[in-house]
Structure 1
Amino acid sequence: MQTQTEGSAEPADNGGLLQVVGGAIVDSLERPVRLLVARRTAPEAFAGMWEFPGGKVEAGEAPEDGLRRELREELGVGVVLGDEIPGPLVQGWPLSGAAAMRVWVAAVHDGAPAPLEDHDELRWVELDGDRIMDLPWIPADLPIVDALRRHLA
């Protein structure tokens, strides 16, 4: 998932914020036990940190469609979307002064996750243990992890 503004994508009518989407991929939408996390390779400031995979919504694209596209491109999987994890902004969770991210719980329905773009490792972590909170998360994603755990409890 890119949290920096790059390329020529224009922000949607989103209060001037670039709309980013992320997938909280769990092992089951009905009884989630584990979360798939992705370790970034770039930019340098975030290399080695963990995040929710996803990316920017393209102009004219619905956020849900953008998330499905991004997860196919980044991980090689098709997903079924569950609940959105509501953020403090209408646009979702603040990433920076220029971007916000909407996050959906998702489950893989097609393919096997592999780090195809932007990541060097994927890992399934238990949702109910402390290990998930001990990972070096990208700072903007950390409150989303906490909200996800509360939402799924």
Structure 2
Amino acid sequence: MGDEREGKTVEPKRLVLVAACVLVDADGRVLLARRPEGKPMAGLWEFPGGKVEPGEVPEACLIRELKEELDIDVAKACLAPLTFASHEYEGFHLLMPLYVCRRWEGQVRALEGQALTWVPPARLREYPMPPADEPLVAVIRDLL
């Protein structure tokens, strides 16, 4: 079903559900991962996470993605919902619940060749991010 705007029918965009996580270390820093070459928006910094698979809930997605990308084990009880992003990209609409995690098992390490950095919340704006991630920075800074 299309949407009427200025007399034109606008087809709805595909909704993409992505879960992301603000990992906070003992010093109060936030982990950012740089999107690798060959991926859309390569070179931009983002919060770890990934696409929610059909039939999967966001928490299970994060537990899976954090293990696959960073080699850490996260318990569902350690994922606290914080906020969400809703952003229209060309060709799809992104809905991204954002969780906070302060406890995990294992040493964070990049398993997919991505650069990682721990950033004090006050310096998050210094890192170029995808448009959907940018509004989340103020919420994170307020929290931390």
Partner Cα distance (1:111, 1:35) in 2:
16
**Structure 1 pair 45–20 and aligned structure 2 pair: CA distance change class (3 A):** closer
Structure 2 residues not aligned, in runs of 5+: 1-12
Q: CA RMSD in A?
A: 2.2
Of 33, 36, 54, the match for 1:38: 33
Q: Tell me, yes or no, if the aligned pair for 2:59 and 2:79 is still in contact at 8 Å.
A: no
Deviation of 1:93 after TM superposition, in Å, equals: 3.1
Whole-angstrom distance in 2 between the partners of 1:137 and 1:16: 22
Q: How many Å apart are 1:64 and its aligned residue?
A: 0.5
Match of 2:80 in 1: 83
TM superposition score normalised by structure 2: 0.77
For residue 84 of structure 1, give the secondary structure of its aligned residue in structure 2.
strand
Residue type at the aligned position of 1:147: V
1:33 Cα shift? 1.4
Matched, 1:20 2:13: no
> Is 2:83 the partner of 1:93?
no
Q: Which residue of 2 aligns with 1:148?
A: 140
Partner of 1:6: none
1:137 matches 2:118: no
- Quick check: which has more Rg, 1 or 2? 2
User: Contact 1:78–1:108 at 8 Å: present in 2 too?
Assistant: no
If the length of structure 1 is used for normalisation, what is the TM-score? 0.73
Name the CA distance, whole Å, in 1 between partners of 2:38 and 2:103. 27
The Cα shift of 1:36 comes to 0.7
Shift of 1:107: 2.6
Per-residue CA deviation, residues 36-88 of structure 1 (Å, 9 max, x unaligned), is 1111114455222100111111111111111110111111111243421223x
